[in-house]
Amino acid sequence: MLTAIVRALKPGGRLVFVEFRAGDASVPIKALHTMSEAQVRREAAVHALAWVKTARELPWQPTPSFFRKP
């Protein structure tokens, strides 16, 4: 799915991952459905997306992680 999304992005297009924080018992979701920031970055790197920033304002999602298509 991510391959198709990246292919649809224009050069310079942005993609934001918003994932529930892995490893935090206070997050009310099964661990299977969480990702760490490192996992998100690895996923994006496979598709040659450049990391822009990670927002940390949300209580359970440290990862809105922002990426840009070169």
What is the rounded distance in angstroms from the CA atom of residue 35 to the CA atom of residue 20?
Answer: 6
What tens digit of pLDDT does each residue of 1-58 get? 999 999 999 999 999 998 888 887 887 889 888 888 899 999 999 999 999 998 877 7
Q: Identify which of 65, 63, 51 has the alpha carbon closest to the alpha carbon of residue 22.
A: 63
pLDDT of 58: 75
The domain of 25 spans: 2-68
Backbone angles phi, psi at 62, to 5 degrees: -75, -10
Domains held by the chain: number: 1
pLDDT at 31: 87
